[in-house]
Amino acid sequence: MIFASFTVLIIGYLIGCILGSNVVYFLTGVNLKQTGSKNAGATNAVISIGWKYGILVVIIDIGKAILAFLLIHNLLNHLYFTPEQNMILLYITGAAVIIGHNFPFHMNFNGGKGTASLVGMLLSMNWKIGLLAIVSFFIFAFISNYLIVGVFQLYILLTIIAFHEATILPLIISIGLLAVAVILHLENINRIRKGTEPKMSLIYRHR
């Protein structure tokens, strides 16, 4: 189990290091880490260079989490672990993808904030819950007029799901991811307090 955990951690991390923003840079020459909010995520892509590139970033960052889950799930089908152990390994995979996205080795460990990859993780765990997460994300974001509210709602949803699992490790992983998300969004939280955080209505106008 220890070797398997280490293996899926490495696989998930390396896949997570494939950022949609890198593809956008290859296509447009625009480095999102040096443009706008200097974040490698879809929101900055929308504001800086338009919706079509923002959608491309989202698709890649969601897709890589799904790819990682499919690879690990296929691998686990050929191994002899209990359903509980399989679940733990899949949680580790999802967390590793998000960490790889947030701290890619090829970008001096300064990547994105992992929201799209978290959506991919939720979709991979249960597509119905994943779709519910996407809908609730936009509901919370539009009602509050702040994207970050929708983001934290996703991590809280993951934590609630993990709380109902039969073992404690998924809950620890989800709480850890929530803590990382809070740390990475401290600047956004401070901007909300100052009234300078871009609102959803502003992002929508960049369509």
Q: Give the lowest-confidence range in 42-46, 113-117, 183-187.
A: 42-46
What pLDDT score does 4 carry?
79
Q: How confident is the model at residue 203 (pLDDT cuts 50, 70, 90)?
A: low
Assess whether pLDDT exceeds 80 at residue 47: no
Ramachandran region, residue 87 (left: φ > 0; alpha: ψ -120 to 50; beta: rest): alpha
Q: Provide, rounded to the nearest whole percent, the portion of the chain with pLDDT above 90.
A: 48
Task: Tell me the average pLDDT across 19-24.
Answer: 89
Q: How confident is the model at residue 201 (pLDDT cuts 50, 70, 90)?
A: low
For the record, the structure tokens of 38 come out as: 């200097």
pTM of the predicted model, to two decimals? 0.90
Assess whether pLDDT exceeds 80 at residue 193: yes
End-to-end CA separation in angstroms for the chain: 47
Mean of pLDDT over the chain: 87
Indicate the residue type of 56: L
Cα torsion 45, 92, 125, 182: sign: negative
| Residue for token pair 């990547």 | 111
Give CA torsion, residues 94, 108, 25, 112, to 10 deg: 40
User: Could you read off the pLDDT of 109-160 as tens digits, one per residue?
Assistant: 988 899 999 999 999 998 999 999 999 999 998 888 888 899 999 999 999 9
